[in-house]
Chains A and B, each alone.
Chain A
């Protein structure tokens, strides 16, 4: 059986369908990403899988344990890092870690090998109160606390939101190392660039899963011509392209526009169009699709 098995799970709050008949499976030792914007239902899904929320319908199993019937067993084998920093801000780094170790009936020494890589980075601040740590340090401490009881499955709800770029990169490196230790990791993120760091991803939007695959497959199956375009008059370019019948989608991507066309037009057709509209310093090149392109296309 898969490490996490989700079968037609749904949850609504009043009129809002937060999660709508979602099914997926995460294999043992896999790094699986839930990619979706805010409000997509990622946190609700996490709460149902971590036994904090009872689904309206559907079922889910974590390491073979049913999330409703065997919730006590699940709580022993999972590590959960909520999106909001949820450690005691008035306890020190060491006290927080000690507290969570004791709650799970273990000690820091016993599982030090798991957290060593991460803990050495925050060790210099072990006497500092958690509330006084920087964002990146807080994430590392939270990860340590979620790992201290040697969980089989790790649930990380938007662990990199609000963390600087360097700390984000470090954090993903750490996840890679944890994966090597055989821990199943389910991580959610609103950042599309982080999707490629997962083994498989599920694109989620409005409570529905749009697509599940490896990031490579997802991007290579885009299936339509995609160009990066720019010219001196960026805004005019955007508006003019959006008015064209051949342009399926035009989205700003940093300093370029990503233009998806139908198969009927060639790169030369586009170039001709741009020149006909008197654009200066035109750049036009075919580019491979990113996860973000796929996501926007699926929405």
Chain B
């Protein structure tokens, strides 16, 4: 027991003395959280739009004004011809071209449907679809306005107006659809997981590179003591990171914390145990820190992209969804979002606890098994 405590103490001394490691563990995550939460924003703003107005009617002008007033769009030009508009799309200065044909108002008044054309640059899929749907919504609402305005002419003649379904949506758990509130909990889970994994993966292999492992191996130190002695300090670091992250999230972004934070911390312990096991396993199999780093990157990138942090797991193909089961980041992201935004309790995220606990057992058995004192 004394031996284990001393190993833990030794690790702490080494970590605190490492001039690059300490800022890496404290400042960098906060900076990342701040930068990522602003940048990793799925909201589409500043869609560049060019409008070819061939009609010059009052309605056409009203529509243009309405679009221009929407803060998501930036009217870059009003080219006189479709050809010039195409050129704008080609050189990348316009994302969407809206063409109002010359017969726009006439068609409308003659009670036919008036047609307008939307050309969307789909190189950036998200910008295209979201931008187009914003624009469609604006046009739809404009349509309703002018129909009401023109009501005497058309609507009244109808004895039975066509019944319509009105959609009133309300966004639960994040009423204002504040993107940061959605992203920050996820990013926190991701950061804690990655950092702990990277640090542990580099740890044992570092002892091997420096040669200290040789001296350790001839001592009566036991495998589990050595492994546990490495894990405990990193568990503390992970929990500290989470605390720092939650504090920063609250102070800087006012992220809601509806659920019980104890659930988050409890999950964090399980998650870190799993990730530590994986990190140590990688470390045991690597001969150099470089190898360990690249192996870790391989896992980290898959873990992040398949974590549901940026793209929802539900929209992945079925086989990919199965792959998210052994992904600690996916579970962490889900737990963070559920507990912080939705106020989920332990029972609601029990599945995540179970899956991660199984991973923790498997990874750690692999770590102890792969650590060999004898060649």
Chain A residues near B (Cβ < 8 Å) = 47, 50-54, 71-72, 75-76, 78, 80, 82, 84-91, 95, 98-100, 102-105, 129, 145
Contact = CB atoms under 8 A, between A and B. Distances in A.
Given A53-B374, A86-B214, 17 more contacts: A47-B375, A75-B219, A82-B214, A86-B210, A86-B211, A87-B215, A88-B10, A88-B212, A89-B210, A90-B13, A91-B13, A95-B10, A103-B6, A103-B7, A105-B220, A129-B17, A145-B215
A75 B215 CA distance: 11
A82 B374 CA distance: 15
A71 B13 CA distance: 30
Contact of A71 (B3, B6, B10, B374): B374
B10 A80 contact: no
B90 interface: no
A98 B214 CA distance: 18
A100 B219 contact: yes
B373 A52 contact: yes
Interface in B1-54: 2-3, 6-7, 10, 13-14, 17-18
Contact of A80 (B2, B18, B211, B218): B218
Contact of B17 (A52, A54, A90): A90
Interface string B214-227: 11111111000000
A129 B14 CA distance: 11
A102 B2 contact: yes
Nearest to A13: B375
B14 A52 contact: no
Interface in B62-90: none
Contact of A51 (B212, B216, B374): B374
A146 to B, nearest CB: 8
A75 B3 contact: no
26 contacts: A51-B218, A52-B218, A52-B373, A53-B375, A54-B374, A54-B375, A71-B374, A72-B220, A78-B218, A80-B215, A82-B211, A82-B214, A84-B214, A86-B210, A86-B212, A87-B215, A88-B14, A89-B210, A91-B10, A99-B6, A103-B3, A103-B216, A104-B219, A104-B220, A129-B17, A145-B215
Contacts of B374: 51-54, 71
Contacts of A95: 10, 13
A98 to B, nearest CB: 8
Contact of A85 (B6, B17, B211, B221): B211
A47 B218 CA distance: 9
Contacts of B2: 102, 105
Nearest to B222: A72
Contacts of A51: 218, 374
B218 A75 contact: yes
Contacts of A104: 219-220
Interface of B: 2-3, 6-7, 10, 13-14, 17-18, 210-221, 373-375
B111 to A, nearest CB: 84
Contacts of B220: 72, 75-76, 103-105
Query: Which 5 pairs between the two chains have the least Cβ-Cβ distance?
Result: A86-B215, A102-B6, A86-B211, A80-B218, A84-B211
A160 B10 CA distance: 28
A99 B211 contact: no
Nearest to A102: B6
A75 B214 CA distance: 12
B229 to A, nearest CB: 10
Nearest to A88: B212
A100 B214 CA distance: 13
A92 to B, nearest CB: 9
Contacts of B219: 75, 100, 103-104
A87 B375 contact: no
B328 to A, nearest CB: 30
B338 to A, nearest CB: 41
Nearest to A129: B17
A225 to B, nearest CB: 46
A66 to B, nearest CB: 13
Contacts of A102: 2-3, 6
A54 B218 CA distance: 13
Contacts of B213: 86
Contacts of B10: 88, 91, 95, 99
B212 to A, nearest CB: 5
A40 B2 CA distance: 41
B311 to A, nearest CB: 42
Contacts of A52: 214, 217-218, 373-375
A196 B82 CA distance: 98
B3 A87 contact: no
A47 B6 CA distance: 26
B249 to A, nearest CB: 33
